[in-house]
Amino acid sequence: MTREPDHAAAAPADATENFPLDPALHRALAETRRAAGDELGALAHLIAAHTLDAYASGSAEASASNLCDVATGYFMKGDHEVAAAWYQLVLTLDPNLAVACQNLAAIHADAGRTAQADAYRERAYRIQRVFVEQAPGQMRRVLVLCAARASGNVPFDALLPGAVNCRIKYAIDYAADAEDAHLPPFDLVFNAIGDPDVAAPLAGRLSRFMSRSGAHHGSRPLLNPPAAIERTARGRIPRLLGDLPGVQVAQCVRIDTPPASSAALASLLEDSGLTLPLLARPAATHGGEGLVLCESVDALERRLRESLGPQYLTAFRDCRAADGYYRKYRMIFVDREPFPYHLAISRHWMVHYFSAEMEQHAWKLDEERRFLQDPAAALGERALQAIRAIGRRLDLDYGGIDFTVLPDGQVFVFESNATMLAHYERGNGALAHKNPFVQHIVDAFERLMKRRTAA
C-alpha cells in the first residue's frame, strides 16, 4: 500500500469523548452490554480492552486494526454514530489508519457535515492512495481508477463482486506519477472516474498513467477509457446523440462564469438556441443535487449570480404522459448492449426513484415489472431500436441512459453517461423484483471482463 505516515494529522480533540482509554472501563462496559443481551457490544468492548492493553504495554504486536473492524461492522450495519465513536478511538491509537478516515468522511457526509467530511477525506488520501480488497474466491485483480476529491465515480460495487474480484482502488488524483510504477499487480483496469466534469481536470494525469501503464505493468485491458467518458459531458450529448433516428435531446450549454449583464445573458441564450423555461444545475452533480427550474429571466440571472462554479443550462420539456405522470426509464449499457434497470413514475417533473413513492403504489411497481420483463413491449420497437443505437454511439464498456418515451415513440434523453447507478435491493423488500435484472447486468459485465482479459 502507498503510505505517508509523515502526513498523518493529530487525532481530533474529541477523539476520546465517547469511549475511554482505560481498558478496565471497557471490561466493565462489556459486562454491562452482556447483561443487556448485547453480545456484539460486549465483544466490541473486550476487543477495545485487549487493544488498549497491548498499546499500554508497548507490545510490538499492538495494532488498532481489530478495533477498526469493530467500527466498520457498525458502519456496515448503518449505526453511524456508534461507528464514528469507535473510529475516533481507533485514530487516537493509530492516526495513520486511512480506512478509518475514509469511513468517518462518509459518515459526516451522510449527516450533512460537509466540512468534517472534507477534512477526513483529505486526511485519508494523504495517508494512503491504494486500497486493496482481497477476494476469497479470487478470479482476477481489477485496478479501479477513482477520484477521491470529487464525486462522479461509477458505482462499481455490484459490478465487481468482492467474492471473486480483488479490487485495487487507486485514488489517482492524490497519487504522484511515480506511484504508478509501484502498484500491486492487476489483470484489468476499470476507469471509474465516470463524470466528464470530474475527469477533465485529471486529463493530463490519466493520460500519463495510460501511457506508462504498459511499460510498468505490461499490456492490460482498460474499460471505459477517458476519451469515451469525455464525450458524455452534458453539453456534448445533444451533438453526440441528436442525429440518431428516433432520438430527441434537449439543447444544453455549460456556463463557466455568469454573463456580465442581462444583454450578455440574452445573447448567450440566443446563440445557444435556448429559451425559457430552463433547467440549471451545477456541473459534476447527480441525483438532482442543486437542480432548479428557472421560468423567468430574473430567476435565471439570480441563479447564475448566486451559484458557485460552472452551471449547465438545459431546455426544459414537459414530458408528462396523458395520465398526468412523468416517467423516467433507466437502462444500463454493458459493452454497448442495453439492459433494463428501473422505471420511476412521479407527479413531479424531477423524477427520482426515491421520491416517486414507488413502493407505496402497487400499480407503479406492476408497470415497472412489465418494463423489466419485456422492454420492447413497454417501450415499443422504435424506442428500443433508438436505445440500442445510443448504446453503440456512446461506445462505453459500462454506462446508461435515463429517458422517457414520447407519444410518437421517440426517445427523449434526460442524460446518458457512465455514472448510472445499479445496485441490488433487499431480498425480502418491496423492490426485490429488480434483483434478477440487476443480476443480468452483473453477469453481462462479468462476461465482458472475461472476454477482455482472455484477449
Query: Do 425 and 358 belong together in one domain?
Result: yes
405 domain-assigned: yes
Confidence of residue 455 (pLDDT cuts 50, 70, 90): confident
234 domain-assigned: no
Report the distance separating Cα 389 and Cα 61, nearest Å: 59
User: Would you give the DSSP letter of residue 187?
Assistant: S
Q: Pick the last residue of a domain from 102, 127, 152.
A: 127
Mean pLDDT over residues 52-71, rounded? 94
320 domain-assigned: no
Query: Do 147 and 258 belong together in one domain?
Result: no
Q: What CATH code is carried by the domain that includes residue 288?
A: 3.30.1490.20
User: Would you give the DSSP letter of residue 6?
Assistant: G
- pLDDT 10s digits, 345-377: 999 999 988 889 999 999 999 999 999 999 999
What local confidence, expressed as pLDDT, does residue 441 receive?
98
- pLDDT 10s digits, 314-332: 999 999 999 999 999 999 9
Rg (the chain; Cα; Å): 25
What local confidence, expressed as pLDDT, does residue 16 receive?
39
84 domain-assigned: yes
- pLDDT 10s digits, 259-317: 999 999 999 999 999 999 999 999 998 888 899 999 999 999 999 999 889 999 999 99
Asked whether the beta carbons of 213 and 179 are under 8 A apart, the reply is no
Q: Pick the last residue of a domain from 315, 347, 371.
A: 315
Helix (H, G, I), strand (E, B) or coil at 397: coil
User: What is the domain range of residue 58?
Assistant: 5-127
- pLDDT 10s digits, 143-187: 999 998 877 778 888 999 989 999 999 999 999 999 999 999 999
Q: What CATH code is carried by the domain that includes residue 52?
A: 1.25.40.10
Confidence of residue 216 (pLDDT cuts 50, 70, 90): low
Report the distance separating Cα 44 and Cα 82, nearest Å: 11
Query: Do 219 and 264 belong together in one domain?
Result: no
Q: Is the pLDDT of residue 227 over 50?
A: yes
237 domain-assigned: no
What local confidence, expressed as pLDDT, does residue 137 receive?
84
Domain count across the chain: 4
Torsion of CA 5, 7, 13, 17, to 10 degrees: -40
What local confidence, expressed as pLDDT, does residue 289 receive?
87
Query: Do 379 and 445 belong together in one domain?
Result: yes
Q: Pick the last residue of a domain from 264, 289, 315.
A: 315
How wide is the angle at C-alpha 257 spanned by C-alphas 273 and 348, nearest 5°? 60
Mean pLDDT over residues 71-99, rounded? 94
Query: Do 418 and 379 belong together in one domain?
Result: yes
Query: Do 112 and 155 belong together in one domain?
Result: no
239 domain-assigned: no
pTM of the model: 0.87
Q: What CATH code is carried by the domain that includes residue 372?
A: 3.30.470.20
Helix (H, G, I), strand (E, B) or coil at 333: strand
Q: Which residues of 319-348 are buried (b: 16+ CB within 10 A; e: fewer)?
A: beeeeebbbbbbbbbbbbebbbbbbbbbee
Mean pLDDT score of the chain, rounded to an integer? 92
Query: Do 120 and 56 belong together in one domain?
Result: yes
Strand pairing report for 130-133 and 292-294: unpaired
